[in-house]
Amino acid sequence: MSPDTIIAATRQSGFPDVEPGTFRALPLRAALFIMLVVATGGWLLVQSVENWSSVEPAHFLFYLVIAIFASVLKIALPTVNGSMSINFFFILIGLVDLSLPETMVIACFGAVAQNLLRPRQPARLHQVLFNAATIAIAVAASFGVFHSPRLAEMNLGLPIVLGLAACNCFILNTLSVALVVAMTERRPAWRVWHDCYFWCFPYYLGGSCVAWLISSLKQQMHWEASLLILPVLYFVYRSYRIYLDRLEHEKRHVEEIAALHVRTIEALALSIEAKDQTTHDHLRRVRIYAIEIGKELGLSECELEALRAAALLHDIGKLAVPEHIISKPGKLTPEEFEKMKIHPVVGAEILERVQFPYPVVPVVRCHHERWDGTGYPSGLKGEDIPIGARILAAVDCLDALASDRQYRKAVPLAKAMEIVRSEAGKSFDPRVVEVLQRRHVELEYLAVNTQLDAARLSTEVKISRGMAPARGFENPATDFCVSGRGDPMSSIAAARQEVQMLFELTQDVGRSLSVGETLSVVGTRLKRMVPYESIAVYVRRETKLEPAYVNGENFRLFSSLQIPIGQGLSGWVADNNKPILNGNPSVEAGYLSDLTKFSTLRSALAVPLQGIDGNVGVLAIYRAEKDAFSREDLRILLAVGSKLAMSLENALLYQTVERSATTDYMTNLPNARSLFMRLETELSRCKRTGVPFALLVCDLDGFKQVNDRFGHLEGNKVLRFVAHKLRESCREYDFVARMGGDEFVLLLPGMTADTVGARIAEFRQSIAEAVELLPGPCTLSMSVGASFFPEDSTESEELLSTGDLRMYKSKRRKSGEQHMPELPLSEMNVLPLTYQ
């Protein structure tokens, strides 16, 4: 088998008159190696021909014709630009049956025929000579191994000696070609040899077996027995062809997937260009520089693919950076730089969703790390930084220095390279800087002369249709300040009155820690300064705005709103922290579950309530007239909003603290303190009305096993689920509290021993559902003890103690600690459940 590798340079040499693929375009070391191999192989061929000898010329001519025919039956190699034929059979047969000159001629003629007959593309002279010389060297060395006196003394047997000769032929033949490909394409020689040629080694061993079989038949019969090799050749060729056709099909599929990834990458890169028009050329140049340096440093194919993608996408995180920061013509403030520093992290998070088959995300995340550990976002140092990120950092800096930016003019390439070189060992990897300094002129020429897809987005096109948005344009004619119309003294008096009213408002809202009281005061006093027909104060609850105070027209409408942050009028105000003047109130009604409702109001003035810890809500006022509010109204509302935000924040904090004193933080149920207060209240009511009620004490059996096996996080999920199911199984006026740990207490007015059984059955079902949430099998059950008013007691502590005692009796009976008779319903327990 003779590799017919088309040796072609993968990059331009830097001289415009050199045609790629020619001998002059090859790297110097590749050219020197080719000349050395051609000289050695030519000398060996000449020496062999000078000592020509042939015992059976007909036998030799038969093998020569068949070898040339077999050379035409060649198969394209995967991953490299070359082909392979099956004429290696005749090299191995020649080692046994022919002389060295005959075997050498057969091998060299086969190699030349393989290059010249039915080539995929025309072969160049240096390619033909190199392939023939490689075969000549391999044949001479293999012939020496097969006829070695030392091996003959060891008496190893023909099959073993022939196998050793086949291994020698395989290594010399394929390794020489792999070295040329590696030097030409700047790839590791071992990787080229392993990926492209090692898979054919078993065929060489199979060829040695066929050669031994033919030799054995010849000894028994005559050389005409060699005709049996013809069906063997065809069988080997067909098996090769089927295997490589299937491999080619899979390769095309992989290439299509890879092309899809490339198109995705280019689309993402265009999204960056839409934000920053200076990025397009920067990305193109960085990609060329980075890939060539990666090849020089011996990166694997997977690492090169990651670097190729990262070179285009390393700035995609800038989509999360405000445009005024990216395009700022001056120096950034510390706050702006903090915002800019998030772009590697955001970019990595975006690309994690793409699930690239190669490590793009670490390169993007780390491309602003510094060699000395002072970079961001993680402060990695030295070799801890991915090699692709180190290459990208140096190349990115060089191109940024040599390009025009909003904040400075470009510096000459030589000076930019000097700045980068001065940062070697501090900001950049010294190895990367050394390669960049040695090749930056050549790479600059390559970047300038490489034509890539220059598609750009239509961000500058002017659309003639659509002369106004649906809500109209904001009216800029109204001045922010009060005009000079009317009596100046009236203006002064109005200003003093406004100051006095704001002062009184500040005092009033500062005295109260009640949310309702605070907002009611604001609503009353604000109406005297800015007339309105409806007012709504929305409080931010995670991702939604909920109405905390509503008054005026459409009260029910605004009270029922649950506005997602960023949607609708008030949602936009909360998300952007910007006011809206004369917005359309009806857009809020779009978030109602009942779409038949609508607002009769036509103007809205909404301002964000910005507290110390961020946005706490939105203050909105509404009127029926269109464009009813002025910029003077907006100014007053902004002043009121700044005062209200701090008071509202304090009131909400107090409300949270007050609620946490009576609410269990884990399950959001009332805690033990609330239970005792509610139990006293319930007993007083039942004593007055004579209505019975049941008290249930519930405890989870096996809950410690849940925490021990699955962890406390899973245990917390079970507690929250059980609490939710208990509350869901109860009536609106029933009371469910968490006593502590895994113990719950329920107060059920109107329930007796005869009616409580159905309720406990529902609790049993909730435990079964809770078990199904666990990641593995576990036994979990619930013990329940019940006490009843007035049968068991009329005092709260006795009722609770009785229920608790019955619950523990139930628990002990279940665990078999003591033999107990059948319990009444008041002491029943839920049977254990196991989920497998």
Number of domains forming the structure of the chain:
4
Residue 697, domain extent: 672-834
Using pLDDT thresholds of 50, 70 and 90, give the confidence band for residue 472.
low
Q: Which of 80-89, 370-379, 472-481, 681-690 has the lowest mean pLDDT?
A: 472-481
Q: How would you class 470 by CB atoms within 10 Å of its CB: exposed for 0-12, middle for 13-18, buried for 19 or more?
A: exposed
- Cα→Cα distances 777→362, 773, 780, 830, 833, Å: 38, 10, 10, 18, 10
For residues 172-194, average pLDDT: 77
- Residue 424's SS3 state is strand
CATH number of residue 499's parent domain = 3.30.450.40
* 238 and 294 part of one domain: no
Residue 177 lies in a domain: yes
Residue 467 lies in a domain: no
The answer to pTM > 0.85 is no
Domain termination residue (choose one: 250, 285, 300): 250
Q: Tell me, what DSSP letter sits at residue 250?
A: H
- The per-residue pLDDT for range 100-128, each reduced to its tens digit, is 888 888 888 877 877 777 666 667 787 88
DSSP string, 149-197: HHHHHHT--HHHHHHHHHHHHHHHHHHHHHHHHHHHHT--HHHHHHHHT
* 643 and 738 part of one domain: no
Residue 133 lies in a domain: yes
* 604 and 687 part of one domain: no
Higher pLDDT, 673 or 657: 673
* 691 and 798 part of one domain: yes
* 638 and 736 part of one domain: no
For residues 278-304, average pLDDT: 81
For residues 417-421, average pLDDT: 90
Q: How far apart are CA 72 and CA 91, in angstroms?
A: 16
- Pair 632, 481: CB distance under 8 Å: yes
Domain termination residue (choose one: 661, 680, 696): 661
Residue 655 lies in a domain: yes
Residue 650 lies in a domain: yes
Residue 284 lies in a domain: yes
Higher pLDDT, 813 or 659: 813
Q: How far apart are CA 164 and CA 182, in angstroms?
A: 26
CATH number of residue 689's parent domain = 3.30.70.270
* 432 and 549 part of one domain: no
CATH number of residue 433's parent domain = 1.10.3210.10
* 431 and 515 part of one domain: no
pLDDT at 390: 93
Asked if pLDDT for residue 208 goes beyond 80, the answer is no
Domain termination residue (choose one: 610, 631, 661): 661
CATH number of residue 46's parent domain = 1.10.1760
Locus of tokens 């990216």? 326
Residue 466 lies in a domain: no
- The per-residue pLDDT for range 728-768, each reduced to its tens digit, is 888 888 999 998 888 999 999 988 888 888 888 888 778 87
For residues 428-432, average pLDDT: 91
* 652 and 682 part of one domain: no
User: Residue 327 is encoded by which pair of tokens?
Assistant: 């395009």
* 657 and 522 part of one domain: yes
pLDDT at 745: 93
Asked if pLDDT for residue 487 goes beyond 70, the answer is no
User: Residue 519 is encoded by which pair of tokens?
Assistant: 């907002």
pLDDT at 825: 43
* 721 and 652 part of one domain: no
Residue 797 lies in a domain: yes
Which residues have CB under 8 Å from 34's CB, separation 6+? 7, 23, 26, 126, 130, 180
* Residue of 135, 96, 93, 95 whose CA lies nearest to 114: 135
* 690 and 607 part of one domain: no
* 113 and 190 part of one domain: yes
